[in-house]
Amino acid sequence: MVGKFTVAGTTAKCPTTPSCAESGAPGKRTAYSRGVSPDLTSHPAVSAVRAALTDRGFDPDFRVLPDAVKTAQAAADALGITPAEIANSLIFKGIDADGSVSPVLVMASGGHRVDTTYLAQALGLVSLDRADPDFVRTHTGMAIGGVAPVGHPTPLRTVVDTYLEQFDQVWAAGGHSHAVFRTSYADLLAMTDGTASAVTP
């Protein structure tokens, strides 16, 4: 186990399995009940993220939130910070000149909208297209709203928004829409072997 694993609010009594989460059994609080923090200590994607961080020499504090935080605004509200301090994980389809497609992870400040035309040119790509949920899960092993900077089946080409540099600490998703961890701009660059770039002119 790496770092502290802080659970905010009440922990769900049943395990985070589809059968439990979807059971809706009377008198039981399911793993994804609103206001109840699910037990993610053994969740596959969260475990993959924590293992990847350990392999890279990082030991961040994780926080499990009672409600899913699938947007930068939701995460900021839950953490009591501004959306700009959220390192939003956005997966795009990078289109090369030969027509080949590869995933590109953009760690953007939650206060920014990525200018895909600008960033594609900066990366030497023909275009950056928004990825669909299946593409995201195939290349990250995670669902949209919970994609972490690391812990993917294979390392992804990553861009880290230079706007994040102004903050002493930022928060990133931890592999699940209820899980986040504290990090920094410099650590994001190091853990992802990412490229520093503005994401908008």
Q: Read off the pLDDT of residues 130-141 as tens digits, 9 standing for 90 and up.
A: 999 999 999 999
Has residue 102 got a pLDDT over 50?
Answer: yes
Q: How many CA atoms lie within 13 A of 197 on its CB side?
A: 22
> Topology of 5-197 in CATH?
YbaK protein (3.90.960)
Which whole number is the average pLDDT over 42-58? Answer: 94
Has residue 163 got a pLDDT over 90?
Answer: yes
So what's the pLDDT on residue 8? 55
H-helix or E-strand containing 59? none
Average model confidence (pLDDT) across the chain: 85
DSSP 182: E
pTM, rounded to two decimals: 0.82
So what's the pLDDT on residue 41? 75
Q: Which residue, among 50, 47, 66, has the nearest Cα to 58 in the 3D structure? A: 50
How far apart, in Å, are the Cα atoms of 164 and each of 67, 112, 151, 152, 160?
25, 10, 21, 22, 8
